[in-house]
Structure 1
């Protein structure tokens, strides 16, 4: 709390002291005169003399007392002035201390601001130098990657990899450069295959979440790329796009963790997703796969294979947690879905199975659509469980069909479905097959 400022100190004038003394003398004189007047009225001379002496003593006492009072007032005033002077000195000292502290604080603030400014300038200079160095390294590595010499291109790949390993902020750019390189037409050089395989290994090496070399948060844009033996076993793939790619050899995503969207509308000699997991949406629309294997995969997202062409395909023990769609797909060789678990809907409308179609012990927890499906070879649904409606309307069974032990929670739909008369079939209980002509049987449900 701030003390109120002292009033301005005024000096007592000399005449005020003189007036006080005169008043004291006048008061003493008046008292003496009054008392002497009273003493003169006494009749006895002795009494009168005594009274006059007392009057003189009293007058002098009044004068002395008045003077003493004035002296006390002057002493009190000196004390008061001294205290005010002390308070003033203390206030001045406090203000002076506060001022010095403010000056010190300001000086420290200025010094601190100057230090921070210097540090920012040093950091900015260091950052600029580092950025220039990164730019130079990046530019040099890209130049090496564009060399006509395969060995120099390999050096450029390793330079980019080292740059990305040491600088996490550059990783998305470096991955984009490597993907762009794989999207380019191969150079006319017999050693180009090794260079491209090295680029693939650089990508996949940093997509495995098993150590310091993992580069999280990067995606692969390999649309239209030419890949040879692409091995992403155990990798974590987020938003990988291989649409239109041509993949020779075995493309392995075995045990991979799939996130986001995985676009596989490409051409594959062999595609392996055995044991793959994750919630990615897998798009195989229009893909051409000579051999596909999804055995024991646990697919948490939607799978779409509309219009895809598969040679030999196996989905043994695969778990489909969301809808799986293979409408208009073609399976030119055997297709195995044994023990597959379709926990959401399955749609294979207008699909064509050129060879064996195996759904033994498969579980269909939701709607299973096989309308207009062509089974060119054997179709085995033994011990399959249809926990919702299964529809085989207008399906065609050219080979032997076996539904032994299959169970249906709801009456299946087999409207206008037909089966070849050339084979012995095993139908579910209640299904009826009546000849239409020499080649076909018409299926009806109860």
Structure 2
């Protein structure tokens, strides 16, 4: 029976009894892996067969025939053949065990390297953090199983250093006044820039959404980055370089892209509601099927842009350049503000009854609630 003391949980600050835990040591048999036990059993069975089986094999092969004159030599020949087979089997088992041990060793080294790289991300030295970021990139290239986790770790790393939780839809209309915001990101925060670069050139993970919302990243360089389905809502990417960047189906709601360079960028089916693209250079940008409802496109350079099937209701394009832009089946209404002198009579808008349902114009799902004493868990 258990004693009464065994039912009492350890009190905070008191040592926990470990005598029973230390006494319950695993047996020697439990420390031997399954492959070694299997190899030993197979070796014993093969050895026993080589010793006792030759006589039965010779008798079965002769049947009713007369035994040979040199009976012992015939038995030894069979035994030699069986022992050679056992030797080959032992070599195969040894090769398998060596391969298995090598895989375990490589897995242990990969785990150790992963833990070391993650630990480097919290180092006070920027050089050490850069080493950890590029170490994680190398691990993600060699291990597909860790690719998604590494993407989440780097996203959290960027968010801890560049996220402004107070940003909302109103901040898209105002320039960032944070210290150093006029300096390129690669100079003022090389570790954040390196993490973004690694995320942008990695192989995309299916159904993974990188959470980079509310980031303050003006003057960043994301040229040729592959950021499918990335969540950048309410972020500040003013004057960023997005040349050739792939932002297919990205959530760019309320994002600030004033003065950004979007030449040859792909924003296919992206969400750009309330986005600010004032003075953006977006020549030959792919905006097909995008939601540009109430987007600010004043003085934007949209020469050669593809805007087919995009939703421009409530969008402002005053001063925008639409030379050679494709506007097939674009959605617009009386709230759309076109550039002065632009003749939109030749456009054939999609009929209202065939439009997909408009997304709700509410940002309650984006709201960040401040922690209060009422909803905080009680302290222990």
Instruction: Report the TM-score range of the alignment, normalised by the length of the smaller protein.
Output: 0.5 to 0.7
| Residue 156 of structure 1: how far off its partner (Å) | 4.2
User: What residue is the counterpart of 1:349 in the other structure?
Assistant: 333
**TM-score, scaled relative to structure 1:** 0.51
Contact residue 155 and residue 212 of structure 2 kept, 8 A:
no
The whole-number CA distance in structure 2 between the counterparts of 1:216 and 1:160 is 19
Distance 1:385 1:309, change over 3 A: closer
Match of 2:224 among 234, 257, 273: 234
Asked if 1:101 is matched to 2:86, the reply is no
Query: Following the alignment from structure 1 to structure 2, what is the Cα–Cα distance between the partners of residues 190 and 164?
Result: 30
Q: Which has the higher contact order (CA 8 A, sep 6+)?
A: 2
Q: Counterparts of 2:179 and 2:281 in 1: how far apart (Å)?
A: 31
The 5-angstrom pairing of residues 70-85 of structure 1 reads 84-85=66-67
User: What does residue 330 of structure 1 align with?
Assistant: 316
Please point out which of 140, 155, 158 is paired with 1:179: 158
1:164 shift after superposition: 2.5
Bigger Rg over Cα: 1
Tell me the number of residue pairs that the alignment of Structure 1 and Structure 2 aligns: 268
* 1:6 positional shift: 2.1
Residue 282 of structure 2 corresponds to 294
Q: Is the 8 A contact 2:268 2:286 kept in 1?
A: no
Unaligned runs of 5+ in 2: 1-59, 166-177, 353-380
CA distance in 2, matches of 1:108, 1:204: 53
Q: Residues 247-258 of structure 1: matches in 2 within 5 Å? A: 247-248=237-238, 250-256=239-245, 258=246
- Displacement of 1:262: 1.9
* Distance across 2 between alignment mates of 1:107 and 1:391: 78
More strand by share: 1
- The question of 1:201 aligning with 2:193 is answered yes
**Gap regions ≥5 residues in structure 1:** 8-83, 209-213, 359-377, 394-446
Q: Which digits, 9 at most, give the CA deviation of each residue in 1:141-180, with x for residues without a partner? A: 1221xx4xxxx2x234312233124322465255324332
1:167–1:295 distance in 2 versus 1, CA, 3 Å: same
Aligned partners of 2:304 and 2:323 also within 8 Å: yes
Match of 2:302 in 1: 315
TM score, norm. by length of structure 2? 0.59
CA RMSD of aligned residues (A): 3.7
Structure 2 matches for 1:357-436, cutoff 5 A?
357-358=338-339, 378-381=340-343, 386=347, 389=348
Change over 3 Å in CA distance of 1:125–1:276 after alignment to 2: closer
Distance change in 2, residues 1:391/1:109 (3 Å): closer
8 A contact 2:310–2:330 mirrored in 1: yes
Quick one: distance in 2 between partners of 1:111 and 1:308?
71
CA distance in 2, matches of 1:235, 1:127: 30
Q: Once the 2 structures are TM-superposed, how far is the Cα of residue 272 of structure 1 from its aligned partner?
A: 2.5
